[in-house]
Structure 1
Amino acid sequence: MRIDLHTHGKLSKNSDFSVDYFTEMVAEAKVSGLEALALTEHFNTRHFYDVYETLDRLYPYNGEYYDADGLRIFPGMEVDIQENGHILLIGQKEHILAVRAGLENYTAKGSFIPFADLLDLAEAWPLFKIGAHPFRESTPLYELDRDLLGRLDAFDLNAKDMYKTGIQTCRSQVETLAQSLGKPVTAGSDTHQCLQYGSVSNVLDRPCASVAELKELIATGHYTIEISPDLPLRVKASVMLKKVMKRLAKLEAASLQGV
């Protein structure tokens, strides 16, 4: 089963969750060869709860994942921590929403939850905890306390970072960190825009029907990471298109305000 473990369903944090936009994302994810993805939308995105309320209307949910016309969507979110890092949490919808409720007082910049407190909160549920883009300059997770890093389940090999710093350099950094802590590495496109799907993926030895099974397959090494040879082109095109779409959205908003 081919799965992307770091994806977003909105163009940006400030945009509303659009059914048309997301269904197009789903279609393109399937075209790219994905059979599953973890939807790790930012925990402090605009109207976070709208995302899952809308998915509940769009697709059947079996207690583990949404079936989006054959694409398995595992619930999740990306959480900012006080120490300038990002953590991906993936699990059953009820567990993700329970943790999100516990973060209600930590959504504003400058008041994010401390890393240790987030881990305590997340460990109350059987979640898959991944350290996102650990060597990104703005969120240097690798610098944090190793005992806390050791409580994570994996580290994110991120398509955007590979585009920026080079595939081999980024992969070496993340793999060295993960190996030093006895943790696996997982691949995530970090896409906000459909062109980035397929840039990286995790290919599991067999299909999985739950996050617990997914976590076990990753922990026991029953998967490989595939990096597309056209990753730089996919990410560059996605970044450029995202900028254009955000500008158009601002112009449209300004036009509506002027009416």
Structure 2
Amino acid sequence: MKIDFHTHVKISKQSTFMPEYFNEMMREAKASGLDALAVTEHFNTLRFHDIYDFLEENYPYENGYYMIDGLKLFPGIEVDVKEVGHILLIGDRDAILDIRASLENHTEKSNFIPFKDLLDLAEERDVLKIGAHAFRESTPLFQHDPEQLRRLDALDLNGKDLYAYGTDAYYQKLKSFAAELGLPIVAGSDTHQFLQYSSVYNDFAVECQTVGEFKSCIKNGDYKLEVSPSLDIKVKSATLVKKLLKKMLNKNGLFGFNA
């Protein structure tokens, strides 16, 4: 089972959710060879709930995921914490929406939730907790208290950061850090544009249906991390296209031709 644990379905936080763009992303994810995605949209993105309203109206939900023309889509969310850093939380629909509701008063930078409090909130539910892009200069996670970091289930091998910092050097740095904490590593492309799919992904030995099954496989090491030999061109191309698409957005966060 091939899954990407860090993906987005909006071009940016400021863009409006566009069903046509979403459907194209799902088709391309499947075409890239993936069997499943976790959609980890930013918790403070514009009109976060539009994503789940659309999913509810258009796709069946079963066993903790949406089935989209043969592709499994697991609910998730990416959360900023007060001390700086991003955390990915993946779980069933109700758990993710409940967490988002609890963060309603923490959507601005001035009042982001403290890291410990977010972990407390997450641990009240059955969710997969992943530390995102630990060494990204803008949102470094490595500087957090190791005791709190060890409460995570895994660290994120991030496609964008492998491209930005060099695949081998960054991977070795992350592996050393993960070993210090005693945490496993899982892969996430961090894409906002479909060309980046399959730049990195996780290949599980079994077909996982629930977050609990993912946790068990990750803990037992029953999966492989895969890094595409075309990672650089995938990420670079997606980044360039994303920039062009953002320039096409109007004041309502839509493409000009959708206005």
Shorter-chain TM band: over 0.9
Larger mean Cα displacement after TM superposition, 58-67 or 244-253: 244-253
Count residues in correspondence: 257
Q: For the structure 1 residues 249 and 121, does the alpha-carbon distance in structure 2 shift closer, same or farther, using more than 3 Å as the test?
A: same
Q: For the structure 1 residues 220 and 116, does the alpha-carbon distance in structure 2 shift closer, same or farther, using more than 3 Å as the test?
A: same
Gaps of 5+ in 2: none
Aligned to 1:67: 67
**Matched AA of 2:89:** L
Matches within 5 A, 1:181-192: 181-192=181-192
- Checking the alignment, whether the CA contact within 8 Å between 2:130 and 2:153 is kept in structure 1 is yes
CA separation in 2, counterparts of 1:27 and 1:156? 24
Deviation at 1:248, TM superposition (A): 1.1
Cα deviation digits, residues 132-157 of structure 1 (max 9, x gap): 00000011100110000010000000
- Checking the alignment, whether the CA contact within 8 Å between 1:155 and 1:183 is kept in structure 2 is yes
Matches within 5 A, 1:16-55: 16-55=16-55
Q: Taking every aligned residue pair, what percent have the same amino acid on both sides? A: 52
Matches within 5 A, 1:174-213: 174-213=174-213
CA separation in 2, counterparts of 1:112 and 1:214? 28
Aligned to 2:91: 91
CA separation in 2, counterparts of 1:255 and 1:52? 21
CA separation in 2, counterparts of 1:66 and 1:254? 25
CA separation in 2, counterparts of 1:49 and 1:253? 15
| TM-score, structure 2 normalization | 0.96
Q: Secondary structure at the match of 1:110?
A: helix
Deviation at 1:63, TM superposition (A): 4.0
Q: Secondary structure at the match of 2:142?
A: helix
Deviation at 1:33, TM superposition (A): 0.3
CA separation in 1, counterparts of 2:55 and 2:22? 10
**Matched AA of 2:73:** I
Aligned to 2:249: 249
| TM-score, structure 1 normalization | 0.96
RMSD: 1.6
CA separation in 1, counterparts of 2:86 and 2:121? 15
- Checking the alignment, whether the CA contact within 8 Å between 1:133 and 1:156 is kept in structure 2 is yes
CA separation in 2, counterparts of 1:93 and 1:253? 26
Gaps of 5+ in 1: none
Residue 154 in 1 paired to residue 154 in 2?
yes
- Checking the alignment, whether the CA contact within 8 Å between 1:7 and 1:37 is kept in structure 2 is yes
Deviation at 1:127, TM superposition (A): 0.6
- Checking the alignment, whether the CA contact within 8 Å between 2:87 and 2:129 is kept in structure 1 is yes
Deviation at 1:58, TM superposition (A): 1.6
- Detail structure 1 runs of 4+ shifted over 6 Å in the superposition: 251-256
Cα deviation digits, residues 102-143 of structure 1 (max 9, x gap): 101000122100000101111100110000000000111001
Q: Secondary structure at the match of 1:130?
A: strand
- Checking the alignment, whether the CA contact within 8 Å between 1:63 and 1:93 is kept in structure 2 is no
